[in-house]
Amino acid sequence: MMKTLIASACVPVLLMACAPAATAVQNASTTVVQSNAMPPHFPKDLSPAGVAAADDHLALEEVQGTEAMAFVAEANRKSLGALTTDARYEPFREQAQAILTATDRIPGVSFLGDGLGNFWQDGANPKGVWRRTTLDSYRTAQPQWETLLDIDALAKAEGRDWVFKGSSCLQPDETRCLINLSDGGKDAVRVREFDTTTKSFVAGGFDLPEGKHRISWLDADTLLVATDFGAGTMTESGYPFIIKALKRGQSLAQATEVYRGEQADGGYGVSPMVMRDPNGVVQAVLFSRPLDTFRSETWALGRDNKPYKLTLPTRVGVQGMLGDKLVFSPDEDWAFDGHAYKGGELLAIPFNLLGEMRPRIAYPRNAALVFSPTERQSLQDVRVMKDGILAVISDNVVGRLSRFSEGENGWTTTAIAVPDNMAVSLGSSSRTTGRVFVSTQGFLTPPTLSLTDFNTGATTELKSAPAKFDASTHVVEQYEATSADGTKIPYFITRPREMKLDGTNPTVMLGYGGFQVSLTPAYKPEMGKLWLENGGIFVQANIRGGGEFGPQWHQAALRENRQRAFDDFAAVGRDLIARGITSPRHLGIYGRSNGGVLTSVSITQNPDLFNAAVIESPLIDMMRYPEMPAGASWIGEYGDPRIPADAEFISKYSAYQLLRPDVKYPRAYITTNTLDDRVHPGHARKFAARLGDQGHDHLYYEDTVGGHSNDADPVANARRWARHYVYLSQQLMD
């Protein structure tokens, strides 16, 4: 199937003990490396001890270890020599920096009290300034900004590498805010109370030490805090399982416990959620207790200040309160009051019916069901307003905007006009005024920011970003590939309109395929400038494991079914080749974080299919990932390799263990950050080291500053993108 959208002027790896030869075997959907002998570093047994015994690079898991940092220094020297001396590097860096620090970008804003707040980075303020303006001023071509907090000046004054990680302000006035500051870009933050009226930190105010906190305002003098309260208060993943009420002036040791999970809990730690009405009055206090990456219990604080469990599904997304109703979306099929609900639907049910002591009232299905997606639709973004619900619906991976209102006979849906064939996302909302920021963008269409009035459905454009590359010669198309099990896998291709189908087109393919994350059409200005303008083609694959078609699309590739995501990605690559768009010589792949699992497995299972792989901030050693922080929080996604049955299926794809010296792999580029406290740098280091041990040409670069998000410094980020595209040009164009 092919649909023109925009125009502008497994087979598992087989492990058997016999002869040592390794060969590439191809079928209609995928190619996997098969061998009659185990790779030389494959564990003799799959127990944690056996896996560790077979690992000759455990020292590289020590983040700041002497051996590890010596390895990084030498690898960086070689990779910078190969990339930054290329004649394309400096033009790429300059172009990327001009884009990332441009002052004509749309300032992203959120409602802040009576005005709008914005965090802004540019060449003059690489660390950024937190500032505000009025809505009327923002509507003008040159808004008048008032600086609230200058992060560059703060970092200089305090001698810290502060990175702004957002704010949380107490409603409804939003004059008291909690500022999250990361030292160097890590996920862990220090939290300090800030007064927007005096534009200063509050003397004697709330000040929490560095940690991976979960915090909500309860009232002006009380926070609900989940954090590290000392020995024995953190899970194996390094996240909190205790929530306490912290009063102004108290130390963490003096805070009062209000909820406790268990130390063996999985996921990302307990979280408090304070539900307020449009006037800021507390309606409910909820606690989420993760059981694993995706399953959780939802508890509420009773009138007696004791928690009780709600009768919600364990896979659920809680969206907010609409009057006396809790709005939520189950991510699994669920039965309530004798009615069946499908995973991915949007529901609104009176809060008092969800408690264990609920009244004996049967709630009608038509009153509870707000929205039910079709097979190729999914719920992507939700805002609960004062008089209804606004939601973005993905329809075959492009966005639609819908307004839901409750009537006597159930819920009615009204479509709100947005541009066709675009990604649609919701920003900050004001329940008191009924306004929501809405942004749209496409692969060749720069972002536009609008303001939608929920009550009238009227949408007013506020800002439109200028084009950052010449898209006049390109088109976007959507195709489908057929995966190994017959499933149709959609993908987008952005290409020159006059492209020849001769298999010589340099093509980079992006994939993710995990954690129910959807890859939607997005304007990537650095990609357009550094890649498309130079003759490259960009492909975005919507493989299983993502959320493009709801929770079922995600859960189809969980745990023992992970091979489906790899098969899907390979199927898209083969479909591109079958159409004459590219060839293995000119096909590269890019993935980061969970996408690093995808790309590392892709080159080990299909080494003949690709000639380049950017493997960034990756998970790779899937046999030891729970041993490296914060890996144990992802067991719900991948399984637990410390359990024999799980180790069996994980071992069939874990790229670190399956590397072979007798297989020719594409020259990969592996890159990460030393201070990444979300995905441990040991994954990338060890994979690069083993490639080197086996004599495989590769590049490894580790930035010694910045964290997983690459949001610390746009100037450094420009260097990052320049390295990426120099490498891709070398592999796919030269």
4 DSSP β-pair partners: 477
**Residue 642, SS3?**
coil
Alpha-carbon span 378 to 371, nearest angstrom = 10
Alpha-carbon span 119 to 311, nearest angstrom = 39
Inter-residue long-range contacts of 163-169, CB under 8 Å, 24+ positions, other chains counted:
163/127, 163/707, 163/711, 163/712, 164/119, 164/127, 164/128, 164/130, 165/189, 166/119, 167/117, 167/130, 167/194, 168/215, 168/216, 168/217, 169/112, 169/113, 169/196
Q: What is the DSSP letter of 352?
A: G
Nearest Cα to Cα of residue 732 among 509, 521, 571, 541? 509
Tell me the C-alpha to C-alpha distance, in Å, between residue 207 and each of 153, 178, 218, 247. Answer: 19, 9, 16, 12
Which residues touch 561 (CB under 8 Å, ≥6 apart)?
none
Nearest Cα to Cα of residue 445 among 416, 481, 421? 421
Alpha-carbon span 240 to 253, nearest angstrom = 15
- Catalytic residue, chosen from 216, 329, 593, 633, is 593
Handedness of CA 683, 689, 694, 699 (dihedral sign): positive
- Catalytic residue, chosen from 57, 698, 708, 724, is 708
Strands 507-510 and 307-309: unpaired
Beta carbons of 492 and 476 less than 8 angstroms apart: yes
Alpha-carbon span 429 to 317, nearest angstrom = 18
593 is catalytic: yes
Cis-peptide, bond into residue 689, ω within 30° of zero: no
Tell me the C-alpha to C-alpha distance, in Å, between residue 177 and each of 165, 197, 334, 464, 603. Answer: 13, 11, 38, 29, 47
What are the E-state strand segments in 582-723?
587-592, 612-616, 668-673, 698-703
Angle CA(622)–CA(624)–CA(628) in degrees, nearest 5? 110
What are the E-state strand segments in 204-341?
207-211, 214-219, 222-226, 242-247, 256-260, 271-276, 282-290, 296-301, 307-309, 316-322, 325-330, 334-336, 339-341
Angle CA(286)–CA(289)–CA(291) in degrees, nearest 5? 155
Which DSSP string do the residues of 578-591 spell out, in sequence order? HTTS--GGGEEEEE
Alpha-carbon span 76 to 556, nearest angstrom = 39
Alpha-carbon span 387 to 389, nearest angstrom = 7
586 is catalytic: no
Beta carbons of 590 and 582 less than 8 angstroms apart: no
242 DSSP β-pair partners: 260
Alpha-carbon span 30 to 564, nearest angstrom = 11
Strands 507-510 and 537-541: parallel
Beta carbons of 274 and 259 less than 8 angstroms apart: no
Alpha-carbon span 593 to 679, nearest angstrom = 7
Beta carbons of 425 and 392 less than 8 angstroms apart: yes
Residues serving a catalytic function are 593, 708
